[in-house]
Amino acid sequence: MRFEPVALAVVALAPSAAFAVDYLGAEQAAKLLFPDAERFDAREITLDAAQMKQLADAGMRPRSARWQLLLAWRGSQPLGVVVSDAVLGKFELIDYAAGIGNDGALRGVEVLSYRESHGHEIRLPAWRRQFVGKTAASPIKVGDDIANISGATLSCTHVTDGVRRIVAVVELLRRSGALS
């Protein structure tokens, strides 16, 4: 989608600065998604070939086998997991985080930063609330169970697709016992 040589040249040269507007840090987002958590443990998990195939068969295109998660704990009780991600809006990246409870249901989605000229409304609680309670069995699709924002179709679609991918990966990990 982007002009690759420019993109790659810029990747090579640019400092790793995040562009405005940054609304939240991932740590803040994790606390918002799991306010009852007492601590968060970072865990890196690598999907095996069979799991990657399972995702591909489900219509997901996992971008990486390696996933870094934050596990939310209250004492010895696991509450769920937080995954931060970045997807392309129309021109620029949108940083967001999804929290998924131990029951596999989405606790919520937080937008960490948004840089496009249009479509800031995906930050609004009313739009993000649509994700709450969705599971791997839900469509999690714009125009299906997630309503679009007029003028921000690409941002909505890409964040929604990203959340669906995260839910699918976490469900795989949950079932394999990797999160316990």
Partner 1 sequence: MTHRSSTRAASLAPLAFALAVLLPDAQAQSATEADLARRLDQLAAELAAVKAQLAELQKQKSAAAAAAPAPMATAPAPAVAAAPPAASEPATVITSYGEINYNRPQHQSQDTQIDMRRFVLGYQHRFDDRTKVVTELEVEHAVSSADDPGEVEVEQAYVERQLNPTVALRAGLFLMPMGLLNENHEPTAFFGVERNFVETAIIPSTWREGGVQFVGNLDNGLTVQGGLSTGFDINKWDATSEEGRESPLGSIHQELALAKGKDHALFGAVNWRGVPGLLLGGGLFSGKASQGQATASSRVTLWDLHARWTPGAWDLSAVYARGTISNTATLNAPLVGSATLIPSSFDGGYLQAGYKLWSHDDLGLLPFVRWERYNTARSYADLGAGLTPDPTAAERVWTAGANFQFGNGLVFKADYQKFKRDRDSDRFDLGLGWSF
Chain residues 105-144 in contact with partner 1, contact rule CB under 8 A: 112-113, 117-118, 120-121, 123-124, 126-127, 130, 143-144
Q: Which range of residues in 49-57, 83-91, 102-110, 172-180 is near partner 1 by CB under 8 A?
A: 83-91
85 vs 171 by CB, closer to partner 1? 85
Tell me the site size for partner 1, rule CB under 8 A.
Answer: 71
Of residues 121, 78, 100, the one with CA closest to residue 165 = 100
Of residues 89, 95, 109, the one with CA closest to residue 157 = 89
Is residue 35 a contact point for partner 1 (CB under 8 A)? no
Of residues 136, 129, 137, 28, the one with CA closest to residue 84 = 28
Continuous segment of H or E residues that includes residue 74: strand 66-74
By rule CB under 8 A, what string of x and - marks binding of each residue 13-32 to partner 1? -x-xxxxxx-x-xxx--x--
Backbone angles phi, psi at 176, to 5 degrees: -80, -5
104 vs 161 by CB, closer to partner 1? 161
Q: How far is the C-alpha of 102 from the C-alpha of 36, rounded, in Å?
A: 13
Among 53, 63, 74, 175, the residue binding partner 1 under the rule CB under 8 A is 63
Q: How far is the C-alpha of 167 from the C-alpha of 26, rounded, in Å?
A: 18
Q: Which range of residues in 49-57, 87-95, 101-109, 171-179 is near partner 1 by CB under 8 A?
A: 87-95
Is residue 41 a contact point for partner 1 (CB under 8 A)? yes
